[in-house]
Structure 1
Amino acid sequence: MNLEEIKSVVELMKANQITEFDYDNGDTHYRIKRDLNSGKPVPVPSASTEASSNKAEKIEAVQTINAQMVGIFYTSPNPDEEPFIKVGDDVKEGQTIGVIEAMKMVHDVKADQSGKITKILAANEENVEFNQPLFEIE
């Protein structure tokens, strides 16, 4: 992959709100990550092809709970209240785990599956996009 091809991939990622791209041609492995807030590519340390394929297998096993709409994400019902959940909490399908404010209306973000929250991917009061991963769950 040459520089022009990489630039093209980054532009396609921007246009389609893609945050991560992996490419492996056997000898070389490319991984491009974008931060949706800044729109700039995020450097990712490279690793051997074997280690990268192991990471890819682990990534596939990670499930996410995604935003169902565009808006402002909140981790708690009110600024002076505790967050709905924190990393390590077990959640049940249908449980409210956050809220998104869109056009002055507040919508619950509900767990679409039961499991343990392993990572919170969106910050409190962060603008989120449709289908943006908010939580990792196992």
Structure 2
Amino acid sequence: MAHRNVPLTLSEYEDLLRLGRAHGLDAVRIQRGDWSLDVNFAPGPAASTPAGDTLRTEGAEPPAPVQATPADTATHAVVAPVAGIVHLTAAPGEPALVAVGDKIAAGTTVAVIEAMKMMTNIDSERDGMIAEVLVAAGDMVAPGQPLFLIREVAA
């Protein structure tokens, strides 16, 4: 099978930006054959209007511009402790455990990861508000992968 140089999808770019900010990266480079992508995560105070992160590619048509907001210092990631399939509901057909904007307490179950027929509840370690859901139901996740962003809220 011949290898093709295929740029990332917009969803993959967005995931890359979210993960880079969640892990506090300054920059990252992805290279596939003669195609490459450099992402520089723009620093700046959270109160200012972001100019957007910089995307530069070589050897491919330029992608549509991707805007990203700077990392919020009061935002914390809930990460996967194990590899497996993420479930955002307690059981099939039930509503999501949490949604963006929900206020939660430390210990609240936000997702379930299924690995080898074993279910692991994923609980928030902090009080706060669900700022962003970084995965979709049925996604395969790796240990340490951010699943949610929790924003601290004033009491």
How far residue 53 of structure 1 moved from its aligned partner, in angstroms, is 1.8
Q: 1:100 is matched with which residue?
A: 113
**1:60, distance to aligned residue in structure 2 (A):** 5.7
Deviation at 1:76, TM superposition (A): 0.2
The residue identity in structure 1 corresponding to 2:71 is I
TM-score (norm 2): 0.57
Tell me the residue number matched to 1:72. 85
Gaps of 5+ in 2: 1-18, 31-35, 48-69
User: How many Å separate the matches in 1 of 2:131 and 2:88?
Assistant: 15
In structure 1, which of residues 91, 100, 118 is the aligned counterpart of residue 131 of structure 2? 118
Report the count of equivalent residues: 101
Q: What is aligned with 1:54?
A: 44
In structure 2, the residue matched to 1:38 is none
Measured after TM superposition, the shift of residue 32 of structure 1 is: 2.8
Matches within 5 A, 1:19-58: 20=20, 21-22=25-26, 31-32=27-28, 44=39, 52-54=42-44, 58=70
1:79 is displaced (CA, Å) by: 2.1
Q: Please state whether the residue corresponding to 1:79 is helix, strand or coil.
A: coil
The structural deviation recorded for 1:131 is: 0.7
Taking the aligned partners of 1:65 and 1:89, their CA distance within structure 2 comes to 14
* SS of residue in 1 equivalent to 2:143: coil
Unaligned runs of 5+ in 1: 1-18, 23-30, 35-40
**Aligned letter for 1:93?**
A
- For 1:42 and 1:134, locate their aligned partners in 2 and report how far apart those are by CA, in whole Å: 24
| Structure holding more helix per residue | 1
Looking at structure 2, the residues matched to 131 and 115 of structure 1 have their Cα atoms a distance apart, in angstroms, of 20
Letter of the structure 1 residue corresponding to residue 97 of structure 2: F
Q: Alpha-carbon deviation of 1:42?
A: 6.6
**Alpha-carbon deviations, 1:78-125, whole Å to 9, x = none?**
221000000000111011111000110111000111100000001101
* Residues in 1 aligned to 2:140 and 2:108: alpha-carbon distance in whole angstroms: 22
